[in-house]
Amino acid sequence: MVKAVVLGAAGGIGQPLSLLLKINPDVTELSLYDIVNAPGVAVDLSHIATPAKVEGFLPPPKDSQTTPNEGLRKALAGADLIVIPAGVPRKPGMTRDDLFKINAGIVRDLATAIATTAPKAFVLVISNPVNSTVPIVAEVFKNHNVFDPKRLFGVTTLDVVRASTFVAEVLGDRSLSSSITVPVVGGHSGVTIVPLLSQSSHRLPEGLDTSTVDSLVNRIQSGGDEVVKAKDGAGSATLSMAYAGAEFAVKIIRAIKGERGIIVPSYVNLAADQEGGAALRKDLGKDLDYFSSPVELGPNGVESIKGLGTITPSERALVNAALPDLISNIDKGVSFIQGPKL
């Protein structure tokens, strides 16, 4: 029995992600919440002949006296897995950090409802800027004394999916793309996205010129911009993100159900594994609290943080270049909840 909840379920990501969760036979209950249209999306999905019972919830009407938000509480009650794609997407010319102004408050409020209604659920954060929204959720949970770092994940799977696709293109064989795995570490914006091409399951050809490798790295880092530009004001990646979000959610569900040995990159709080987190901090030479790195999943969430492994000097330079932005994104999220550092 797995109850999955999507917060922001009527949006560009939320709808196809909800569809992919509905067709997963392991999901027995699917609750959709959005500030608009969630009941309609739920009824539509409920006609699909798969086991999950689907329900949609809205907040109370603005003029009603109902507080707190009963719709949100009902959606969250008994959740095993909560995926959060609620919030605004980018338009051309914006960075992910530009979304902070609106999305930080949305994520804070949803995290508060989770902390009081479903504090044991696995929480998967998609809303940008992920580098900051994950710390926001953690700080809200800490304020409610319910923070379990093993159960909170920033979803960086789209970077991994893009890396597989673009490496297959460079190798000249698209049929390989679903079997190629490339760890992508760091965070989820610009230079904080660090693909470790030297650890690709399928090696790039020996002697590939540096400019081809550099453009591959750059394409993975700016994959989101490629979509934002192509959509020309109509938003950012939605379908590929739904695919990536469902892929990550499925891995969490398999781990909840007892499967061992699942290792995936995810942006996590390094306290999720004291030993692995300390080793990663030492390797990075920085005392930061969040980093995306391959993690092993288990029935309680993060079993261990795997760290970077052996990386090349150029990958080390990319990791070092990621750290200042990452640290400032993390501080921004933490300060949003706890106030500025004294």
Ligand X SMILES: NC(=O)C1=CN([C@@H]2O[C@H](COP(=O)(O)OP(=O)(O)OC[C@H]3O[C@@H](n4cnc5c(N)ncnc54)[C@H](O)[C@@H]3O)[C@@H](O)[C@H]2O)C=CC1
Ligand Y SMILES: O=C([O-])CC(=O)C(=O)O
Residue 34 binds which of ligand Y, ligand X, none (CB < 5-8 A, kind-dependent): ligand X
User: What's the 3-state SS for the chain?
Assistant: CCEEEEECCCCCCHHHHHHHHHCCCCCCEEEEECCCCHHHHHHHHHCCCCCCEEEEECCCCCCCCCCCCHHHHHHHCCCCEEEECCCCCCCCCCCHHHHHHHHHHHHHHHHHHHHHHCCCCEEEECCCCHHHHHHHHHHHHHHCCCCCHHHEEECCHHHHHHHHHHHHHHCCCHHHCCCCCCCEEECCCHHHEEECHHHCCCCCCCCCCHHHHHHHHHHHHCHHHHHHHHHCCCCCCCHHHHHHHHHHHHHHHHHHCCCCCEEEEEEEEHHHCHHHHHHHHHHHCCCCCEEEEEEEEECCEEEEECCCCCCCHHHHHHHHHHHHHHHHHHHHHHHHHHCCCC
Contact map string, positions 156 to 175, toward ligand Y, x by CB under 6 A: --x-----------------
Measured from the CB of residue 268, what is the shortest distance to ligand X in angstroms?
14
Measured from the CB of residue 83, what is the shortest distance to ligand X in angstroms?
10
Measured from the CB of residue 129, what is the shortest distance to ligand Y in angstroms?
8
Q: Is 195 or 274 the residue whose CB approaches ligand X more closely?
A: 195
11 is an interface residue for ligand X by CB under 6 A = yes
Tell me which of 155, 168, 197, 249 binds ligand X, using CB under 6 A. 155
Q: Is 14 or 265 the residue whose CB approaches ligand X more closely?
A: 14
Tell me which of 2, 8, 71, 284 binds ligand X, using CB under 6 A. 8
Site for ligand Y in 92-151 (CB under 6 A): 96, 128
Q: Token match 């040995």: residue?
A: 261
Site for ligand Y in 190-249 (CB under 6 A): 223-224, 227-228, 236-237
Q: Is 188 a catalytic residue?
A: yes
The site for ligand X, by CB under 6 A, has a size of: 33
Residue 164 binds which of ligand Y, ligand X, none (CB < 5-8 A, kind-dependent): none
34 is an interface residue for ligand X by CB under 6 A = yes
Residue 227 binds which of ligand X, ligand Y, none (CB < 5-8 A, kind-dependent): ligand Y
The site for ligand Y, by CB under 6 A, has a size of: 11
Binding interface with ligand Y (CB under 6 A)? 89-90, 96, 128, 158, 223-224, 227-228, 236-237
Catalytic amino acids? 188
Contact positions vs ligand X (CB under 6 A): 7-8, 10-14, 33-36, 85-90, 99, 103, 106, 110, 126-128, 130, 155, 158, 188, 235-238, 241
